[in-house]
Amino acid sequence: MAEDTSQQGPQDTENRNAADAGGDAPRRGINPRTRAILIGVAIAALLAAGLWYWRHKTYGQYFEETDDAQIRADAVAIAPKVGGYVAAVLVGDNQDVTQGQQLVRIDPRDYDAKVAQARAQIAEAAAGAENARASIAEQQAAIAQAEAQLAAAKTKAAHDAAEVARYAPLAASGAETREQLAQLRLTAAQSAQQVREQAAGLEMQKRRVAGMEAQIRQAEAQGQGARAQFEAAGVDLSSTHLSSPIAGRVGDRTVRVGQYVQAGTRLMSVVPLDKLYVVANFKETQLALMRPGQPARISVDALSGVEVVGRVSSVSPGTGAQFSILPPENATGNFTKIVQRVPVRLEIEAPASARKVLLPGLSVSVTVDTRSAKDELGRIEKDQERLEAKGR
């Protein structure tokens, strides 16, 4: 075998080298078709990236999204104004109720008695006032009698004084005795004294009228107090019937027949399912362009991600931490900056078919379109520059 190899000529060696070169060529080069595919993919990726960037700058960056959001409702707690034993519970769990529908009735007998007592006090005060008026009428007759007696006493006193004046010259001339004149003067003095007594009696009778009028005013004041008690007792009596102040659905019902309840005890809640709203807790970095009235899309987990339409209603005046029971105090201890969240309220504009499923407490995801305020940051910067220019 070695001899055969050594006997090969130069031509065979060149052919072998050419064959080896031809076998390595496919491994070092790229097929033109593959190269065209790779170039197309790269161009498509660049176009996609450019399209995404253009869409993000003109559209996507103005959509703020959060999944820290829940459906809520302003539920009304039903609590009695008065205490007592529950006589009847007129609604069941999760029952739909209308505004003004009776929910619970408390035993009213104690409050009926208070109403009757207040009514009796009103009648008593009215009788007292009427009695005082009758006494005044009687006193007016006594005053008239005293005035007549005073007039008679004045007439007699005038007559006796005239007799003294007539007899005085006669007694001085000796025509009448001095004893007779002295007797007439005594009679005149007694008549004058009688006039004064009658005048004092008349004044006393008149002053009794003032006291009786004061009794009338006192009785009327007692009547007003009794009427106020009657009205208060009537309010308490009407409060034994608890009605729903709004239309909604009963929830968290804990009251039972025969239970004794105190005033203010929570018996149940009424949830207005037709007035639901969403509270979305956005990060503070997402609020620069968020304004009331902007449209939103609400994805409801209970509807398998089906989206309903919403609208920004209002933005909280502070972060959620500021309204917590124990707000943070960053001036103490070490400080670590944490992105805060601000509650944003959104009104739900969903059809009736969707509202049947929406309940307070359900989780949702919210996306707000802030494009209507995209020029706000520029205006803020310009206003700030004007303020700085004025400061200089």
Which pLDDT score, from 0 to 100, does residue 269 have?
Answer: 95
For the cut 50, the answer to whether the pLDDT of residue 136 exceeds it is yes
Name the pLDDT band for 57 (thresholds 50, 70, 90): low
User: What value does the mean pLDDT take over residues 299-323?
Assistant: 90
Cβ-contact 306, 354 below 8 angstroms? yes
Q: How far is CA 108 from CA 47, 84, 215, 233, 237, in A?
A: 80, 8, 36, 11, 6
Confidence grade of residue 182 (pLDDT, cut at 50, 70, 90): confident
String of DSSP letters for 342-357: EEEEEEEE--HHHHTT
* Angle formed at CA 368 by CA 365 and CA 374, multiple of 5 degrees: 155
- For all residues of the chain together, what is the average pLDDT? 85
The C-alpha atoms of residue 343 and residue 321 are separated, in whole angstroms, by 10
Q: Is pLDDT at 217 greater than 80 in this prediction? A: yes
Q: pLDDT over 90 for what percent of the chain?
A: 43
Element (H, E) at 76: strand 76-78
Region 117-126: mean pLDDT is 92
Q: Is-contact 354 377, C-beta < 8 A?
A: no
Domains, the chain, with CATH or none: 62-74+273-327+336-385 (2.40.30.170), 76-108+240-269 (2.40.50.100), 109-238 (1.10.287.620)
Residue 163 tokens, joined: 């007799």
pLDDT confidence of 4, banded at 50, 70, 90?
very low
The pLDDT, as a whole number, for residue 98 is 95
More confident residue, 1 or 325: 325
For residue 251, give every residue at least 6 positions away whose Cβ sits within 8 Å of its Cβ, in sequence order, or none: 75, 93, 94, 268, 269, 270, 271
Q: What mean pLDDT do residues 232-256 have? A: 94
Under the banding of pLDDT at 50, 70 and 90, the label for residue 251 is very high
Answer yes or no: is pLDDT of 63 > 50.
yes
Mean per-residue pLDDT for 158-170?
79
371 SS3 class? helix
* 61 has pLDDT over 60: yes
pLDDT for res 2:
40
User: Tell me, what's the pLDDT at 352?
Assistant: 82
Looking up tokens 């005035």 gives: 147
Q: What is the predicted pLDDT for the residue at 18?
A: 46
Query: With contact defined as beta carbons under 8 Å apart, do 369 and 295 qualify?
Result: yes
DSSP tag of 314: E
- Identify the bridge partners of residue 88 per DSSP, sorted by sequence position: 105
* pLDDT at 278 > cutoff 90: yes
What is the structure's pLDDT at 140? Answer: 83
Distance CA 334, CA 336 (A): 7
Q: Which residue has the higher pLDDT, 385 or 54?
A: 385
Query: Which residue, 17, 24, 76, 51, is CA-closest to 247?
Result: 76
